[in-house]
Amino acid sequence: MSDDQTWRAPGSSDDAKASDGTGPDGAVPPPPPPPPPAPPQFGEYAPGGDPQQPAYQPGYSQQPGYPQPGYPQQPGYQQQPGWQQQPGWQQQPGWQQQYGAPGPQPGWAPPPKPGLVPLRPLAFGTLIGAPFQALRRNPKITVGAALLLQGIPTIIVSVLIAGGVFLLVDRVANADVADRGTLAAGAIGGAIVLGVLAVVISTVFGALLQGIIVGEVSRETLGEKLTFRALWQLIRGRLGGLIGWTFLLFLAGFAGIALVVAVIVALAMLGGTAGVIGAVLVGIVGSIGLVVLVAWLYTKLSVVPSALVIERLPLRAAITRSWRLTTGYFWRTFGVLILIWLIVYAITQVISIPFGFLGLMLGGVFAPTSVSSPDSSDFSAVIASQLGVNVISAVVGAIVGAIGSVVQSAAISLIYIDLRMRKEGLDLQLVRFVEARQTGNDLPDPYTQPAPTATWPGA
């Protein structure tokens, strides 16, 4: 309204002209454009839309960017570049890749696995499964060495013992009654000699087998497959320490058992109720204590063969080395050893028990009257059939036991490698050695190098 215009009441002449469609000069003014309705705020109803449904519902019933009902003539509202064509909303190619399934981070790679196990601290399940995998990675060495160094000697010793026992028992059974006492004493002495011989043979060949398997597993970890001659060169200078360590274990166990038995016998010889009760209590408590002591010492000293062969340490230094490596990881080491032993023992028993029942049945078939008349000629037939079954059982048991020894020795070697990875960062040395070998460079044996300063958490 200008200054020269005055207010007029509705219904005046000018208003009448306006109502007729003419202005003050008779010209027809253009109709004013209707003001564009403001876009509804969040939660308001759109004009012309369904009053029961909000027109702005992104993320629920309609996708943002589609035309809303009630806004057919709102180009600014439907074609808002920041709303419908926003690259980060509908057309961003990295939207799903960034928040959907993240890919591997740049610069990260899994630890290498050139051989038997990955070159990182080993999980508990890996320590249980990898010893069995070692059997099939190089069977000429593992199974072949087991049969050659432990299976065949055990079979020979079993046959010799069975033949000697049969001859001694048959001689006692066919001798005069007056001479049976002397012959029985001689038979017992001969059986003791055969038993000692069996222990010596099994100890020597068992130590040799353990050294070969420990060396084989340590090289399999690096992806190497050595021949039997190369492994022999590796352990040839360590055989004395291995045999000495095996005999030391045997003597320590024998001394502990002898001590407990001596105390029990001494208490029993006192006589009376107190002596008998004391002998029983000492037998129970002493046996439990002896088992606990043996388990503890064996776990603490379990990696002595690995230190002897892999690090080429003398026996005393290897004992100290094993004690330090297992410190802080006793229960983990004990768990692996006991589980491996239980698995091997169960397999051995499943295979060996049927031969025991077979021996009992054959004894009844070949000599059914031997039990009622032990002085008859059928007694020798019973002994022969029983010994024959025992020999067959010993052969099968020797084969299974040899393979079980391979698994247990492989577990000891892997425990040693895992402990050094956790406490000394051995995996860094192994990875460096493998990478250098792939590029054609030569590095010293990583197992004999000084331990780096890096260690794994929790070591």
Top mean pLDDT of 86-100, 182-196, 297-311, 396-410 is at 297-311
CA distances from 230 to 8, 212, 226, 241, 420 (A): 122, 10, 6, 19, 24
Contact 302, 326 (CB under 8 A): yes
Backbone angles phi, psi at 58, to 5 degrees: -70, 135
SS3 assignment, position 138: coil
Q: What is the pLDDT of residue 377?
A: 53
98-124 exposure pattern, b = at least 16 Cβ within 10 A, e = fewer? eeeeeeeeeeeeeebebbbbbbbbbee
Sign for the CA dihedral angle at 195, 197, 199, 201 comes to negative
Helix 315-326 / helix 239-269 crossing angle, nearest 10 deg? 70
- pTM higher than 0.85: no
Rg (CA), the chain: 45
Any domain includes 268: no
Task: Work out the pLDDT band at 212, boundaries 50, 70, 90.
Answer: very high
CA separation for the pair 409, 303 (Å, rounded):
10
CA separation for the pair 424, 419 (Å, rounded):
8
Any domain includes 401: yes
Any domain includes 421: yes
Q: Is the pLDDT of residue 339 over 90?
A: yes
Q: What is the pLDDT of residue 31?
A: 63
Contact 250, 445 (CB under 8 A): no
Contact 392, 355 (CB under 8 A): yes
Contact 220, 137 (CB under 8 A): yes
Write the pLDDT tens digit of every residue in 221-242.
Answer: 998 888 888 888 888 888 889 9
| Token pair for 11 | 């219904």
Q: What is the pLDDT of residue 122?
A: 92
CA separation for the pair 319, 299 (Å, rounded):
12
Any domain includes 132: yes
- Could you give the angle at the alpha carbon of 103 between the alpha carbons of 457 and 433, nearest 5°? 50
- Coarse DSSP helix, strand, coil percentages of the chain, rounded to the nearest 5 percent: 65, 0, 35
- Give the whole-number percent of the chain exceeding pLDDT 90: 24
Q: Is the pLDDT of residue 44 over 60?
A: no
Domain extent, residue 195, equals 124-238+329-433
| Token pair for 203 | 């100890």
Name the residue type at position 117: V
Any domain includes 155: yes
Count of domains for the chain:
1
Any domain includes 364: yes
Higher pLDDT, 94 or 215: 215
Any domain includes 104: no
Any domain includes 217: yes
Residue 79 CA, distance from chain mean position: 61
